[in-house]
Structure 1
Amino acid sequence: MSANIATNIRACTLADIESISDWLDTTENNPWSVKAITEVLEKPHYRVLVSHSASAVKGLCLFTLVADECNLLYITVDSQYRQQGIGRQLLNALITQCQQQSISRVFLEVRESNQAAIALYASAGFINNGMRKNYYPAIKTVLVNQLDSQLDSQLDSQLDNENSQRETALLFDLSLIEINKEAN
């Protein structure tokens, strides 16, 4: 994985749709259209988080919150920004939001062939709960995964580690700025 890039995570707005549409429809195996994402922004149980920088939206996370459960429906990152930690940042933001709202379980389905996503979810503490064969058109098998609230301490540790990595990267960036100032 390349170094993490500086992004912010926040709720998606209608103003983000144009930036998302620049890349979403070209995303491989994309089950969500820009139109569908626009429509769910107005539905009460749906949430869409975006990872953005000053210039553009780089990724999104779509999920539902109903009662004390979350269903992660989709995480995707613009292909030019993949392998930079954005998917992990979005997943961590979703988990944090669930913890803040006392959500006890997070469910997701992932294509059996999507090894990068499977590894990401496993590293966040998701466990495989089974599989669905031939449930979706054009998808042979999906794995059903779950994250339970008893894993909160593991998640807190993972988030602390990520925050520590961000602080180290920021200090390194500040050091480079100081070196450049001294050189000039």
Structure 2
Amino acid sequence: MQIEIRELREADIRALADIEAQTFSMPWSARSFRILLENPYCFYFVALVDGRIVGGAGYTELCGEANIDNVVVAQSYRAQGIGQALLQALIAHGEARRITAFTLEVRVSNAAAIHMYEKFGFSSEGIRPGFYERPREDAVIMWRRQDII
């Protein structure tokens, strides 16, 4: 399977919003993704397999740090390295912009995602109680920091 990662385009938004709606209890809307495209501090990517969008991820840059806002992969394409490819693209893009720290929140019950983030050097640095709704759940706050010499 060949995975292509590229920047999000306007034409990709409907497919990405559909994956969100099928994945999350509180999905981002197509309008939310359109707003991100207009923000010069937001960087979003999509993953394609056989020309079909199967996932997306993005971050918002603030003061030399990146908040990874979203990582989503269509159900039928999970556990095939797509999330890892997206995360790798985000980190490479951020590092090229001299970002030295990445952070994200993830549901405490999402062991697969937590494991993936740990493989990329993220570590837990706290809990946000009740961060998620529908169902209500705490979030693990994870950080990946580079030592600056």
**TM-score normalized by structure 2?**
0.90
Are 2:107 and 1:111 aligned?
yes
Q: Distance in 1 between matches of 2:105 and 2:18?
A: 26
Q: How does 1:1-184 map to 2 (within 5 A)?
A: 5-138=1-134, 139-150=136-147
Deviations 1:78-136 (A, max 9, x none): 11111100000000111111111110100101110111100000111101110011244
Structure 2 spans left out of the alignment, 5+ residues: none
2:143 partner SS = strand
Looking at structure 2, the residues matched to 82 and 91 of structure 1 have their Cα atoms a distance apart, in angstroms, of 14
Structure 2 residue identity aligned to 1:56: R
Residues 1:132 and 1:81: Cα distance change in structure 2 (over 3 Å) = same
Distance in 2 (CA, whole Å) between partners of 1:117 and 1:53 is 21
Q: Whole-Å Cα distance in 1 between the matches of residues 89 and 58 of structure 2?
A: 12
Compare relative contact order (CA 8 Å, sep 6+) and give the higher one, 1 or 2: 2
The residue identity in structure 1 corresponding to 2:43 is: R
Structure 1 gap ranges (5+) = 152-184
The count of aligned residue pairs is 147
4+ residue runs of structure 1 moved beyond 6 angstroms?
A: none
Q: How many angstroms apart in 1 are the aligned matches of 2:118 and 2:17?
A: 30
Structure with a larger share of its residues in helix? 1
Aligned sequence identity (%): 31
Greater Rg by CA: 1
The 3-state SS of whatever aligns with 1:80 is helix
Distance 2:15 2:32 in 1: 15
TM-score normalised by length of structure 1: 0.74
| AA of the residue aligned to 2:38 | E
Q: Contact 1:24 / 1:34 at 8 angstroms: preserved in 2?
A: no
RMSD: 1.7
| Greater strand share, structure number | 2
